Amino acid sequence: MHQLLAVTSALVALCCLGSVDSSAYDKIVTHSRIRARSEGPNVCAMQQVLGTQKKYFSTCRNWYKRSICGKKATAVYECCPGYMKLEGMKGCPAVAPIDHVYGTLGLVKATTTQQYADISKLREEIEGQGSFTLFAPSNEAWDLLDPSVRSALVSNVNIELYNALHYHMVNRRLLTKGMKDGMTVNSMYHDLGLHINHYSNGVVTVNCARIIHGNQVATNGVVHVIDRVISAVGSTIKDVLDVDEDLSSFNAAALASGMMDKLDQPGQFTLFAPTNAAFDKLNAGYLERIMGNKDVIAALVNYHLLKTVQCSEAITAGSVYETVEGSSIEIGCDGDSLTVNGIKMVLKKDIVTTNGVIHLIDQVLIPDSAKEVMELMGDTQSVFTDMVSELGLAAAMRPQTEYTLLAPVNGAFTNEVMSTDQNLLRYILENHILKLKVTLSELYNGQLLETLAGQFLRVFIYRTAVCIENACMLRGGKEGSNGAVHLMNSLIQPAKKTMYELLIADGRFKMFLSLMETADLTDLLKQEGSYTMFAPTDEAFADLSREDLALLRSDLNVLRTILLYHFSNGIFINGGLEGGVTNLLKTLQGNNLQVKSVNNSIHVNSVEVPASDLMATNGVVHIVKNLLYPGDLPVGRQELMVILQKVIRYIKIKYVPGFTYTEIPLTSYKRTITTTHYIETVPDVTKVTRVIEKEPTVTTVGDEGDPSILTRIIEIGDPRVNKVTRVIDGGEFDADGKRITGGARHTTVNEPHIIEGPDFSKITTIHSNPGLIQEESERITKLIKAGGKGAAIRRPPVPDVTKVTRFIEKEPTVTTVGDEGDPSILTRIIEIGDPRVNKVTRVIDGGEFDADGKRITGGARHTTVNEPHIIEGPDFSKITTIHSNPGLIQEESERITKLIKAGGKGAAIRRPPVPDVTKVTRFIEKEPTVTTVGDEGDPSILTRIIEIGDPRVNKVTRVIDGGEFDADGKSITGGARHTTVNEPHIIEGPDFSKITTIHSNPGLIQEESERITKLIKAGGKGAAIRRPPAGMRRARLVRRHHKPRQ
């Protein structure tokens, strides 16, 4: 007796320990005891499925539904584990006697297992010393075993049956509270694993066999009764797929997806494996189409795979589980069968593996991510789907094309819509198809989405809604392999007019528009922005007389206060308002509007809105038939109070004598565009930057007031340009070369005008003097100002010089145009046939010497050539950096200056006698031809022309002819004066084509420019009488640019 009390105390202690850290199983048993407390002590309420022997410690969900797996269940009451009935007493007042494991098998009515333990010689072991856990199959479980298997076990009790029972045992005590989900324990048969899962609904399984009566404590262990006989497991999911011929199609898909390795690794997976017959049910060509896309086939395979082990016995009701693909599926049960997404499709269940469980199904599960967008369309969008096909829009939605459908539900296609012209209806549908794949998570407020029709739709994000223009999204959007589908509650109507244009076109808002104009608020309706406006119709002002309106117009601050109360920043449409609650919209006036959406209609300040969601490019218009006024804003004038009471009857306006409205500055709501005019007085230069690509046309325009002034214009036919030119307009002349005597000093040019000056487009780095190019521009300005008729009285006599700067690549045509007023003045124009230019040439005409240095006494002054003519001056287009000797160019420039100054007509009386020298600088690659052309007016002037057969040049040559001086200006006592070469001759002077940076003397180019300036200024016949006295300054035409500022 004392021994029995001791054992009983030990049992109670074990049970108490179990309650300290209870598991889901222990909790569900506790709840069962509570439900059955009316039946007496230690009684547990269970549910039994009608027509079966299955009993469950039930969850609250199943208990109140009175069903398990969709089948009706009745409540049954049994003694809780460890307790037993006593005759004549209510409930289960007695603690069950404790015995060894073998004896406990009889206590829990697992008599078949007890019998097999006896005949297999296991009895001695489980009656003796040790600590064991035995998962004992119930009598019904042995009856469910395949007869052939059971016969084989019974026929070889000493080996097969003994080993089978050993696989049901663990060599230590293991209570349900210690059974963690996903754990594996070693059995007593060759340490093969037993796979335990512990679910949140209290179900505990061992190799997917459910514990139906657990924690029966024995003196040498514990017994758990299970609902089936379990067998040893040694294969992975991959192993099963490899050997099961009926799963070969899914096996091929898993291999193509690259997922097979994962199915061979340790884990906790549930695979719903479609059979070959399931794949045969797919649409023709579907599997072949997706097999070439690894992402799609991987999505398909992963959609059949859960991240957890879900044994069939653990599923007592429908639950949602996440797949490896990322989306979810619903797993439920229907009696003894499992369902997937509500469909009864499981053929065979609970194929246990070392890394999970397999259920065979007779359908292929296809996730949205493995479908094309059009395959995602449901029954609620069938009209849209049919219309897309009928109107020929399906061709734009190929499998390789990404797009997004904004699919209106069937109810949006009213009879009025369906009777629309087919072309217009096609345009409407095109505005429901986006050119890109846009998922819900990628949308943000203010986003613009381009449609197939070329329109841009605005996105509005609200607390409880996402809307596109006037339509809002419904739940049920999906993402496919090549796009997405969003369900819309109505047809989308892209905005085409501003709020002002909408009100004008409607015709019911004449008074409101008139008052807006009086208050200087019309721009608010026209300007860009995002506004919500409640626009009162003319009916709202019907009770006002002319005198009332005049009084209202007389005080602009009052009028603005009232009108601006009808505007709010931001676009708020009906579908974006949270239904049934008051939404506060702050107005431009400052007070709040109280907006409420009820039964798909809007009320503002309790005033009904008869028409809403008129979309404008700068906001949305809601129509009201009342003037709105803030209820908490008093009125301080009696006459105004009378007027407002006539039109505002839905609230009682407060009267506070002397109250005045806060003045609202226009800048607080009105976008201001500021125009700035920049006017300079000196120097008179207009500079235009232009890039050219296409063939230009060169035109010389004369000055009507002064024919001696010519302006060369290069017009570009194609605006696509990629070169930089510089335009300088000087003096008191407009862009057409006409003299301006008054009015605005504004210059407008449609095409680049290129006048004079070297090209620095290749110079890319200026370290110490970034103002270098600006200084060059000012120098050229002065040169241009010095030109024109009557120049003889404006500057001293100098040799005639014309300078042209140009990028050239293709064969140019050179034409010399004479001045009608002064035939001695020639302007040479170079027309380029091909606008692709990348060289710099400079032409200088003048002097009394030919190309060989001989004096010329006559000849025509007109030159026409088909190849580039390069006369005088080094080419600096390749010079970008000077490292060691930045003074080199200066020294060379001074030397050339001396040589050039020595030439020219009448030079003997203008300078000391010096030898005749002409210098030519040229990049040449091909054999040149040298021609000397005389001047008809003055035979003594010769122009030497070097014609290059191929304009592609990359060498520097310099030819210096004649005189008694060498290239450095030193005296020469003999030698030939004429040089003709067939290959590049480099005579005198270094080659600067490799110099690329200016570090120590960035003013070098400036000094060279000033030197050339002096040479150019010295040219021109009769120059002494054409230039004005020193100190006079010509007015400048200023081209002003102004741009609106927002």
Mean pLDDT by 10 residues, the chain (1046 residues): 41 39 84 91 91 84 82 90 89 91 94 95 93 96 94 92 96 95 95 95 94 93 96 94 94 92 93 94 84 89 95 89 93 86 90 95 92 88 91 81 92 90 92 92 93 94 93 90 92 94 95 94 93 95 91 91 94 89 91 89 90 94 93 88 87 86 70 42 42 47 50 44 38 45 38 42 43 61 53 39 40 50 47 40 41 44 38 42 53 66 45 40 43 51 45 38 44 40 40 43 66 64 41 38 41
Question: Helix, strand or coil for residue 2?
Answer: helix
Q: Which of 956, 926, 962, 966 is nearest to 944 (CA)?
A: 962
Q: 411: which DSSP letter?
A: G
Q: Are 293 and 481 in contact (CB under 8 A)?
A: yes
Q: Which of 444, 275, 284 is nearest to 363 (CA)?
A: 275
User: What one-letter code names the amino acid at 1025?
Assistant: I
d(CA 384, CA 432): 10
d(CA 368, CA 735): 65
Distances (CA, A) of 142 to 147, 160, 294, 312, 432: 9, 15, 46, 19, 63
d(CA 799, CA 818): 17
d(CA 397, CA 409): 20
Q: Which of 822, 798, 802 is nearest to 904 (CA)?
A: 798
Q: Where are the alpha helices (DSSP H) in 66-198?
A: 101-107, 111-119, 123-127, 139-144, 147-155, 162-167
* Contacting residues for 255 by C-beta, under 8 A, at least 6 apart: none
Q: Which of 389, 362, 360 is nearest to 374 (CA)?
A: 389
d(CA 418, CA 413): 6
Q: What are phi and psi of 222, to 5 degrees?
A: -150, 145
For residue 785, the model assigns a pLDDT of: 61
| CA angle in degrees (0–180, nearest 5) for 174-179-183 | 115
* Contacting residues for 573 by C-beta, under 8 A, at least 6 apart: 460, 467, 470, 472, 612, 613, 615, 620
Q: Longest Cα pair distance anywhere in the chain, in angstroms?
A: 154
Residue 18, both tokens: 């179990």
User: What one-letter code names the amino acid at 364?
Assistant: V
Q: Is 65 exposed, middle or buried (0-12, 13-18, 19+ CB in 10 A)?
A: middle
* Contacting residues for 687 by C-beta, under 8 A, at least 6 apart: 726, 727, 728, 777
Taking only Cα atoms into account, the Rg of the chain, rounded to an integer number of angstroms, comes to: 50
Angle between helices 556-564 and 546-554 (to 10 degrees): 100
User: What one-letter code names the amino acid at 72?
Assistant: K
Q: Which of 771, 724, 714, 732 is nearest to 1009 (CA)?
A: 771
d(CA 956, CA 890): 18
Which residue do the tokens 């270094």 mark? Answer: 990
Which residue do the tokens 């503002």 mark? Answer: 604
Q: Where are the alpha helices (DSSP H) in 191-338?
A: 237-243, 248-257, 276-280, 286-291, 294-302
* Contacting residues for 65 by C-beta, under 8 A, at least 6 apart: 317
User: What is the DSSP pairing of strand 456-461 with strand 466-468?
Assistant: antiparallel
For residue 190, the model assigns a pLDDT of: 93
The strand order across the sheet containing 43-49 reads: 55-56, 43-49, 71-79, 67-68
Q: Is 714 exposed, middle or buried (0-12, 13-18, 19+ CB in 10 A)?
A: buried
Dihedral sign for Cα 301, 253, 336, 181, please. Answer: negative
| CA angle in degrees (0–180, nearest 5) for 919-922-926 | 130
Which residues pair with residue 73 across a beta bridge?
49
Note the Cα 314 to chain centre separation in Å.
45
Note the Cα 194 to chain centre separation in Å.
52
Which residue do the tokens 């009993």 mark? Answer: 55
d(CA 865, CA 943): 12
Which residues pair with residue 620 across a beta bridge?
532, 615
d(CA 197, CA 311): 9
| CA angle in degrees (0–180, nearest 5) for 434-436-440 | 80
Distances (CA, A) of 966 to 218, 573, 907: 125, 88, 20
Q: 696: which DSSP letter?
A: E
